[in-house]
């Protein structure tokens, strides 16, 4: 009897070890494993869809598996087209609207496990920081700054090269020089002749005296 006790203990341990994986499998659910965007991630572009991978394959039953996405103000922003991937039954996707504004988004999921038939649900969040047009239009338009009237630029004069001097106004002397006549300042003074009009009476008097002397000699 005592010899059979070790054999019974060994057999009992073997049975428990065989049942433990089955019990673990039955107690598990199709829970969250990973996603795109990831939980807690900040993205700079609006994602076209949200993809979530679960720990177990999902059982296809209408209304049992879903993905819903809610934006700021608890407004639903998905297109209500969540679906299980045909090639990978652990993957479920849902499409998003294209004109999402910046903010925090919450993804709520619900699953039905194909392994044990248990239902599960949960949620995770991600943040969008893309500078969306909606956020830009909310900002007030910048006001134009009126600059004070600037004085008109002064007229610039073209300075002549040094040494050339300013142009002189042509004078009468310059005009005569241009015509080929020497200026009066440079003309050499000639012999001064007495004016004939002022010496005519003197000549007439001398001539009459000479004629009188000639007549007196003849007499």
49-54 sheet: strands from edge to edge: 32-36, 49-54, 91-95, 83-84
The whole-angstrom separation of Cα 43 and Cα 51 is 14
Query: Residue 165: which H helix or E strand, with range?
Result: none
pLDDT tens-digit profile of 156-201? 544 444 544 444 444 444 444 444 444 444 444 444 444 455 566 6
Domain ranges of the chain: 28-129
Multiple choice CATH, 28-129, 3.20.20.70, 2.60.40.1220, 2.40.40.20, 1.20.120.450: 2.60.40.1220
Q: Which two tokens stand for residue 170?
A: 């042509």
Give residue 34's pLDDT.
Answer: 97
Judged against a pLDDT cut of 70, whether residue 218 lies above it is answered with: no
């Amino acid at each position: 009897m005592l010899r059979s006790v070790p054999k019974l203990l060994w057999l009992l341990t073997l049975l428990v070890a065989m049942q433990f994986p089955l019990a673990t499998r039955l107690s598990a659910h199709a829970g969250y494993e990973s996603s795109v965007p990831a939980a807690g991630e900040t993205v700079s572009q609006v994602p076209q869809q949200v993809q979530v991978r679960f720990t177990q394959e999902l059982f296809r039953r209408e209304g049992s598996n879903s993905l819903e996405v809610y934006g700021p103000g608890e407004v639903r922003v998905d297109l209500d087209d969540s679906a299980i991937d045909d090639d990978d039954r652990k993957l479920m996707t849902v499409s998003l609207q294209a004109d999402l504004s910046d903010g925090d988004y919450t993804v709520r999921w619900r699953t039905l496990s194909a392994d044990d038939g248990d239902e599960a649900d949960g949620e995770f969040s991600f943040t969008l920081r893309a500078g969306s047009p909606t956020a830009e239009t909310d900002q007030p338009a910048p006001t134009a700054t009126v600059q004070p009237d600037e004085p008109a630029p002064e007229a610039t004069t073209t300075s002549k090269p040094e040494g050339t001097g300013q142009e002189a106004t042509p004078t009468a002397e310059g005009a005569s020089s241009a015509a080929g006549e020497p200026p009066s300042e440079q003309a050499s003074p000639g012999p001064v002749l007495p004016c004939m009009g002022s010496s005519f009476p003197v000549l007439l008097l001398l001539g009459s005296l000479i004629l009188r002397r000639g007549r007196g000699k003849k007499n």
